[in-house]
A and B are shown apart, each in its own frame.
Chain A
Amino acid sequence: AQSVTQLGSHVSVSEGALVLLRCNYSSSVPPYLFWYVQYPNQGLQLLLKYTTGATLVKGINGFEAEFKKSETSFHLTKPSAHMSDAAEYFCAVSANSGYALNFGKGTSLLVTP
């Protein structure tokens, strides 16, 4: 079975500061890992994903995440936060291509001026 744990249901950063959203996974097989963003009353937008290969994954809007097998982590980072980054962020894992996703509980990112 696969699962993810997102540490911190709420994260607040100042505009221009580093964004770090934490995600740890549990998987009995090599995981497929994803980060999604959700704006209020909207669906999910894929930020980035890790399947195989390079462990540092770059996504849209300046986000990136690093797959660390030894730490079972897939933390999401962005060097400089923008006000428009305020949203709900979900980490997700699946066992294989085309499988359903198991989501973390989400982290609400607040960006202050």
Chain B
Amino acid sequence: GAVVSQHPSRVICKSGTSVKIECRSLDFQATTMFWYRQFPKKSLMLMATSNEGSKATYEQGVEKDKFLINHASLTLSTLTVTSAHPEDSSFYICSANRQGGTDTQYFGPGTRLTVL
């Protein structure tokens, strides 16, 4: 158990368009989901913490109007990159904590975004 999926796995878009990435907990409910960004050959940087039914908490330096996060249900959080630019190209990874569960975060497989 404890599977987290992300869709799409890869996306290529034109500069100026918006892209939505979904993060789903498939076999558990997650009150909290996290969005990370990973640059090539770099570590994961926390972008925001997403809590079901409330506004996301963004890390310093992350533009909340550019990276829109919605956590509408206990199994789904979405990250929308608005007006994407080439510098937004990156690997985006989500993770989820099981509701009432342990301290383990379960990670999705990631989404590779390329902005042309």
Binding site for B on A (CB under 8 A): 32, 36, 41-46, 49, 51, 90, 94, 96-98, 100-106
Contact B103 A43 (CB under 8 A): no
Binding site for A on B (CB under 8 A): 4, 6, 32, 34, 41-46, 49, 91, 93, 95, 97, 102-110, 112
Contact A42 B110 (CB under 8 A): yes
Contact B32 A98 (CB under 8 A): yes
Complex CA distance for A48 and B111, rounded to whole angstroms: 24
Q: Which residue of B lies closest to A106 (CB)?
A: B43
Interface of B is mostly: strand
Complex CA distance for A43 and B102, rounded to whole angstroms: 20
Residues of A within 8 A of B4 (CB): 43
Contact A90 B103 (CB under 8 A): no
Contact A90 B108 (CB under 8 A): no
Given contacts A98-B32, A106-B43, 6 further A-B contacts (CB under 8 A): A43-B93, A44-B95, A44-B107, A94-B103, A100-B34, A101-B95
Name the distance in Å between B56's Cβ and chain A's nearest Cβ.
Answer: 12
**In-complex Cβ contact of A45 among B49, B103, B107, B112 (8 A):** B107
**In-complex Cβ contact of A90 among B43, B46, B95 (8 A):** B43
Contact A101 B43 (CB under 8 A): no
Contact B97 A44 (CB under 8 A): no
Q: Which residue of B lies closest to A92 (CB)?
A: B44
**Known pairs A32-B103, A44-B93, A46-B104; A100 contacts B49 (CB<8 A):** yes
**Known pairs A41-B112, A42-B109, A44-B93; A49 contacts B103 (CB<8 A):** yes
Q: Which residue of A lies closest to B34 (CB)?
A: A100
Name the distance in Å between B1's Cβ and chain A's nearest Cβ.
Answer: 13
Name the distance in Å between B6's Cβ and chain A's nearest Cβ.
Answer: 8
Complex CA distance for A96 and B34, rounded to whole angstroms: 15
Residues of B within 8 A of A32 (CB): 103
8 intermolecular pairs with C-beta atoms under 8 Å apart: A42-B109, A43-B93, A44-B107, A101-B34, A101-B44, A101-B95, A103-B43, A104-B43
Q: Which residue of A lies closest to B94 (CB)?
A: A43
Contact B44 A43 (CB under 8 A): no
Residues of A within 8 A of B43 (CB): 90, 103-106
